[in-house]
Structure 1
Amino acid sequence: MKVLVVDDDEKIVKVLVTYLIKEGYITETAMDGKSAVETARQWRPDIILLDVMLPELDGLGVCKEIRRDSDVPIIMLTARDTETDRVIGLEIGADDYVTKPFSPRELIARIRAILRRTKPEGRRDKEENVLRVGEIALHLHNHTLRVQGNQIELTPTEYKLLELFLTHPNQVLSRLQLIENVQGYAFEGYERTVDSHIKNLRKKIGDSYGEPRYIKTVYGVGYKLAGDQYA
């Protein structure tokens, strides 16, 4: 998922970008209102963190401009905490309102909550009921995989793993999480079995072990579906 961070305070931007990248998000930044509008329209983020007090064009103005042609979720960031400010922000189209100083962890939680409500996780062709990334197309109606148009056979476990990755793009998933979601339970003694399934799945989708294009290893944690495939 792509997050646009808009704030004229370099320290705040640096902290937010650091936390977001750590959580597996792709980030872009803007330091003034006009740049924010332009970046939002060209880069097409999945969510925007938008400071109210900005040079060139304030955050409320940015929100109004973006709402002319986009329903991208927007979280307003501000040092002002009056009911009137919050109401105005929400009325012009903001999805949430966070007062500075704030906890980066709480902000990440709010981002996740909003994305769960407003964004389909993964890129889904609603008419065909297909999850896609790059040259991969997972057909949900008949549980088949096509890579570059060629049908690839998957085991039930491989299918469930790939579906889980495609519906949680760029999210780091631990081995225990993968087992629990695929098998319905999680035991530490079995978490390494995921590595074997991932190895086989990579071969089938044409992923290189040394430089995987899709399923990337997050050392010491687990795996994630490469976010740059959604850029």
Structure 2
Amino acid sequence: MIDDDPYILDLLTTVFTKEGFQHIYQASTGQEATSQTIKNNPAILLLDVMLPDVDGFTLCSRLRAQTSVPILFLTAKTTDLDKLQGFSLGGDDYITKPFNPLEVVARVKAQLKRSKQAETNHRAKTVYDYGYFTADANSGKLIVKGEQIDCPLLELKLLLYFCEHPHQVLSKHQIYRDVWGEYYGGDNTVMVHVRRLREKLEDDPSNPRWIKTVRGLGYIFEADRELP
């Protein structure tokens, strides 16, 4: 929980403790929040926007680059523009002050349940076998036409991301955000990694079969068969 108001931190700590939460950490500045996140690897973050050393929106971007856990804003900034900004920077929920502590607990539980289900689904499907090539997230291996291909981690992550989103047009910004964990820039980085993947996957990289360019929009992964 990241808030510069000690009353709110103590109130929520009391309520969460009564609801059975056992590992609750407090931070009153962005610097403390960053340190606590790295040290304790929390399952969820509650984040105020108005902090003494950094605004919560900026902090959200920094934390999102470190962790994929749900981030819930808990703030007195109530305009629609503020809410949209919070969501666009990686927030998963937005709760305005004053608040009902039990509602905060309910929303936290809902996000944790959703996060756990997503993790289960992700683990359930970590091998993508299209016959022509196989990408294995567990072993970190890429097999093309029966032969293992040396594939750096980021390139494999990018390929797995495409496999997770078949037949969808993905913008360069979206790919950079979800694969690299950053929110601005990265067009050239994505282009370079896509080109390297094509060189590993395609018989003719200049006329790709798998990862195709959608001019002006981004890329699309054209799986030629549905996986079970």
**TM-score, L = length of structure 2:** 0.51
Q: Give the aligned partner of residue 110 of structure 2.
A: 113
Cα deviation for residue 123 of structure 1 reads: 9.6
Q: Does 1:49 align with 2:68?
A: no
Distance 1:90 1:76 in 2: 9
Give the structure 2 partner of residue 64 of structure 1: 61
Matched, 1:24 2:20: yes
Which residue does the alignment assign to 1:10? 6
Number of residues paired by the alignment? Answer: 123
Letter in 2 for 1:61: T
Q: For residue 90 of structure 2, give the secondary structure of its aligned residue in structure 1.
A: coil
Higher relative contact order structure (alpha carbons within 8 Å, sequence separation ≥ 6): 1
User: What secondary structure sits across from 1:42 in the alignment?
Assistant: helix
Instruction: Summarize deviations over 1:90-130 as a string: whole Å, max 9, x none.
Output: 00000000000000001111011111111259999x57xxx
In 1, the alpha carbon distance for the partners of 2:117 and 2:38 equals: 20
Q: Which residue of 2 aligns with 1:91?
A: 88
Structure 1 outlier segments of 4+, above 6 Å: 121-124
| RMSD across aligned positions (CA) | 2.2
1:74 to 59, 71, 76: 71
Give the secondary structure class of the aligned counterpart of 1:6. coil
Give the 3-state SS of the residue equivalent to 1:80 in structure 2.
coil
- Structure 1: which amino acid aligns with 2:2? V
Aligned-pair CA distance for 1:69: 2.5
Which has a greater percent of strand?
Answer: 1
Deviation per CA, 1:29-86, whole angstroms, max 9, x where unpaired? 0010111011112110000110010011121111110111311101001111100000
Q: Which runs of 5+ in 1 are unaligned?
A: 128-231
- Code of the aligned partner of 1:9: D
Percent of pairs with identical residues: 41
8 Å contact 1:75–1:98 — kept in the other structure?
yes
Q: Secondary structure at the match of 1:27?
A: coil
Over 3 Å counting, the alpha-carbon distance change for 1:89 and 1:119 in structure 2 is same
Matches within 5 A, 1:152-191: none
> Structure 1 residue 100 and structure 2 residue 97: aligned?
yes
Is the 1:34–1:62 Cα contact (8 Å) retained in structure 2?
no
The structure whose Rg is larger is: 2
Report the residue type matching 1:54 in the other structure: L
Maintained 8 Å contact 1:76/1:98 = yes
2 CA distance for matches of 1:109 and 1:121? 18
